[in-house]
Structure formats: C-alpha cells, structure tokens
Copies of this chain bind each other. A is one copy, B any other.
Amino acid sequence: MAVRRIGSAHIGGRPASLQGLPPRQIRYSPGGPAVGIDPNGDFEIEQMYVQYVQLQQPRARYPLLLMHGGGMSGVCYETKPDGQPGWQSFFLRAGHDVWTADAVERGRATWARSPEFFAGEPVFRSKQEAWELFRIGPPGSWRGRERQAHADTRFPLAAFDQFMKQSTPRWSSTEAATQAAYDELARLHGPFVLIAHSQGCNFAFAMALAQPEKVRAIVAIEPSGFPQVPDQALAGLRGIPHLLVWGDHFVGHPLWSQLRVALAGYRDRLRAQGVRADEWDLPALGLAGNSHMIMMDTNSDDVADRVQAWLTQQGLCAGQGAHGRPQGLVP
C-alpha cells in the first residue's frame, strides 16, 4: 500500500466547567509524590475522534467513513478478533482513503465525567448479552464456557472472548452530542461514502439528511434505528444511494425481528420519495450464518467484495474489489 498520510483529529465538542466538588489527594506513579486534585475546573467534552489513512493514489472518488455501532469503537473495522484483516484494510487495498471514527464517549474520543456531564450511567455489555444480541447464538444459549452458537454461524467462535475486549461502555444520553460531532466531521472533511453499523446507521442516515451534499452513499450494515422525520424530508436524499445489509438468524430474536420490520418501513419510505434503497438479505444471496458483526465474520471479505462492487456500480470507485471479484457478482 502506497500511503500518503496517516493522521487523526478530535472533532466537535465544547468547553464545559465544573464547580463545587470537594478536593482529593492522589499518587500518580510509584516513586512520585502525593498530589492534591481539584475535580473542578474547565474541560472539553463531547468531541469525537477520527483516524484517517490516505493513499498516494486512491481509486475511490470520495473517502470512506467507517462508523461503528453501539458498545463498539472504530476498532471493530480493524484487525478482526481472530487476527485476520478487517474492513479497514480491505477497503484501503480496494483503493479507498479510509477514515475510521470513534464516536463521542467511545475509544479515543474519550468520555466526560458522569453524571455531571454525561447524564445517567454507563452501560457495560456482558458476554451473554452480546452473544444473543449479536445473534451468535439463539436466546438462552449462553452457558458460560458451554455456550451454544447457531450451528452454521460465521462468527469466529474461538475469538469471542477476544472480541469482547473491544467492547466499550455507552451512555444512552449522548445521542445528540454524537450526531453533532458526526455532522461537524462531515462539514469539515466531507463528502464521504459512509459504511455504518447498527447504532451507527442512525447517525449516518441523519448526517445525510442534515447535509446531503456531504454524503455520497450509505451502506447500512444491520441498522438498529432511523431518523424520526416526515416523509417529505426524505426527498432530500435523492442522489444518495442507500444499501441495507442483513445477516442471518432473525427468527427467534424478537428485538431484531422488530428492528427489521421498522427498517423495512424506512426503506419503503425512502423508495417512495425516489431514493435508491437497495437491500441485501445475505442468506437469500447464498451467504448463510452471518451474525450481527458481519465485518468480523469469517466471510467478511465476501461481503466486502460485494459492497465494493455495489459502490463501483454507483460510480464511486473504479475497478474491482481487493480480492479481484468481478463486478458481475453484485447481487
């Protein structure tokens, strides 16, 4: 890979101050003296982080922005938990400049004092919740070490505990701040092609609504929400092709069944306003067993190849996928 530049930035956020909290004392390092700490003062909060890898000669027309889902950070697109290359590498090799986001409160975005700045308390996702919510195994299948996955799952099961090391706490009170930071990122560095996952899809959809000139396409991997706007607002998305991608094993997962119906409604409303909204049901395309974490599944390159072909078909990238899959295989 001929790389022109690797860098990062914190985007958005705002100054904020604390007063009236009691002082304390702390020793930072062995051998260091005790230091008085005043928890009050001035801070920066609600910023996001983005890291970019820019190629010497990108073949894509616009940089790709990878947007993670809930309880995740941009790490979910890097090296997979099983040690194989992830989508960041795939799309770099396919000719895209790749920007990888850590949304507000996640990863290198860092987080702010709670509940003073981030209302409520952080939620830590347990292994059992992830196992079922990400449809690696059916509800009730978590039994610690005796966990039972879907028989044909594509999730790399031996790497599940390793995967959980990247799980991050989340607040449910920071959605507006997250959206504001993403919108600022688009304003400063767009237009982007968006690949978003789960919770990240809602931010991607809303980013396109707020600044349609800053978004060239949206690939929504298992979206978990959508903007609450009137139908006519969606007309502003004409010219921004949408692609919804769904894995396997929705039967028996009530939450995901509900979400899928809700998102089919959003898809239909997009189409009714003249927006291209494609949808892939991976099992129907011959790809069985995908979990919610499609970018980590053992066939993640197969899915990425198809996404790359779809992007090429939209005129957003010249040439073939990183693995040379010809464009005719677009489903």
Contact = CB atoms under 8 A, between A and B. Distances in A.
Contact of A47 (B31, B165, B172): B165
A73 to B, nearest CB: 6
Nearest to A92: B6
A149 interface: no
A89 B3 CA distance: 11
A40 B165 contact: no
Q: How many copies does the complex hold?
A: 2
Contact of A144 (B1, B42, B44, B75): B42
A46 B282 CA distance: 36
Interface string A50-94: 010100000000000000001001110011000101001100100
B30 A255 contact: no
Contacts of A166: 10, 49, 108, 110
Contact of A228 (B31, B38, B40, B167): B31
A3 B55 CA distance: 10
A129 B108 CA distance: 21
A39 interface: yes
A310 B102 CA distance: 35
Interface residues of A, number: 81
Contacts of A255: 33, 35
A8 B75 contact: yes
Given A2-B1, A3-B3, A225-B30, A78 B51 contact: yes
Contacts of A115: none
Contact of A37 (B15, B102, B123, B127): B123
A26 B108 contact: no
Given A10-B165, A26-B123, A33-B255, 6 more contacts: A30-B227, A37-B129, A41-B128, A44-B127, A44-B161, A108-B108
